[in-house]
């Protein structure tokens, strides 16, 4: 597997290397020795599976406050998503910056997002299923959300119409509100 650090420090694109033949393929999606060699090994405590039925579904931008910040290892097993991560680490040189990647069942890429980031997705196809490991227990009372279309972030979402949103995501505050109240995430 190839592990490539993205332009925002601490975020890694992981490219499994499937072994294919006439039956299909086999690929390793996690190897603690390789992850340890890159300093990105985590002890995973949850593995979550989400399904977004319709193209144009936006989820996020979600994060957890201390002591429940979390590292995520994300992959798509069906469909295609536009995956976004925003650096909220207090004192980071890239605080408030975002980056994106296309994750799909076809390209098999994975993304490791460290603690201190907001995370969101936009489905580019119908029936997008994602699996993601997290290294901390989910605590709803420590959940934070930044509005997906905050103009201060300027994320260029690949939408062809109005997004499909949860009530919670549609009512989220912006980055400025987060900065004024919290100044950043301590990780």
Q: How far is CA 124 from CA 55, 61, 76, 172, in A?
A: 5, 17, 12, 22
Catalytic residue among 132, 137, 138, 182: 132
- How many C-beta neighbours within 10 Å does residue 72 have? 22
Catalytic site residue 132? yes
Give, in order, the Cα–Cα distances in Å from 15 to each of 101, 133, 161.
12, 16, 31
158 Cβ contact list (under 8 Å, min separation 6): 82, 122, 124
Q: Considering 62, 138, 142, 182, which one is annotated as catalytic?
A: 62
Question: Does residue 62 have an active-site annotation?
Answer: yes
Provide the token pair at 98: 């975002």
Which residues are catalytically annotated? 62, 132
């Amino acid at each position: 597997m190839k592990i490539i650090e993205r332009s925002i420090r601490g975020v890694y694109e992981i490219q499994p290397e499937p072994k294919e033949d006439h039956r299909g393929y086999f690929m390793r999606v996690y190897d603690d020795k390789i992850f340890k060699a890159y300093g990105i090994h985590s002890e995973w405590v949850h593995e979550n599976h989400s399904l977004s039925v319709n193209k144009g579904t936006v989820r996020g931008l979600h994060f957890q406050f201390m002591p429940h910040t979390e590292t995520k290892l994300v992959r798509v097993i069906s469909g295609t998503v536009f995956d976004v991560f925003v650096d909220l680490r207090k004192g980071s040189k890239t605080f408030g910056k975002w980056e994106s990647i296309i994750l799909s069942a076809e390209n098999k890429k994975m993304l490791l997002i460290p603690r201190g980031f907001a995370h969101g997705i936009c489905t580019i196809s119908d029936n997008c299923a994602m699996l993601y490991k997290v290294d901390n227990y989910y605590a709803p009372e420590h959940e934070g959300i930044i509005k997906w279309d905050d103009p201060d972030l300027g994320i260029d979402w690949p939408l062809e119409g109005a997004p499909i949103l949860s009530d919670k995501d549609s009512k989220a505050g912006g980055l400025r509100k987060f900065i004024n109240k919290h100044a950043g995430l301590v990780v």
